[in-house]
Amino acid sequence: MRNNAVVVADDDTLRGRNLVKWLRACGIAAYTPSTDCRDKSTLAMIHEVRPRLIVCRPGETGITLFRPLRAMRQPPMVILLRENPQACDEVNAIDELIVASIRAPVPMPGLCAFIRTALAIVARLDAPSVPTRGRSPETPPLGHAVGATARAMQAMVQAIR
């Protein structure tokens, strides 16, 4: 089962560390390989911590995570902070992976509130509310709920600003 935690994957070590400090100050368990496990890769930390959320930017570290995350049976939700001024705030489901693209800079209190709510919603996907009898082991639990969850989170993204 996944943990109620966030892994921050950022090419900019200082920016990643500052985001982790903000999240921890908001009472959110947050980790980054640059400060918590200097000798581990981001993907190794994700496998060890088993977070419900990943916060990244579209740099080398963030982009390289998408393929391995999509291959996971229950991938963590990804919050992609994009610096492009023309970027739209949106939430999409790619297979079982939920990706919230949010235009940066983001007010930290709004981002913390969004992450706290997203953690609660993703936790509900971890607790199956439907019987599992008759479902093949290859079928992800509650796979049908991912799209609905992404649509519900769309309204939350708009509330950040």
Domain boundaries, the chain: 3-127+140-159
pLDDT at 22 over 70: yes
- Tell the burial category of 127 from Cβ atoms under 10 Å away from its Cβ (0-12, 13-18, 19+): exposed
Average of per-residue pLDDT across 38-53? 85
CATH fold of 3-127+140-159, please? Rossmann fold (3.40.50)
pLDDT at 110 over 80: yes
What's the rounded Cα separation, in Å, for the pair 34 and 44?
12
Q: Confidence class of residue 141 from pLDDT cuts 50, 70 and 90? A: very low
Give this prediction's pTM.
Answer: 0.80
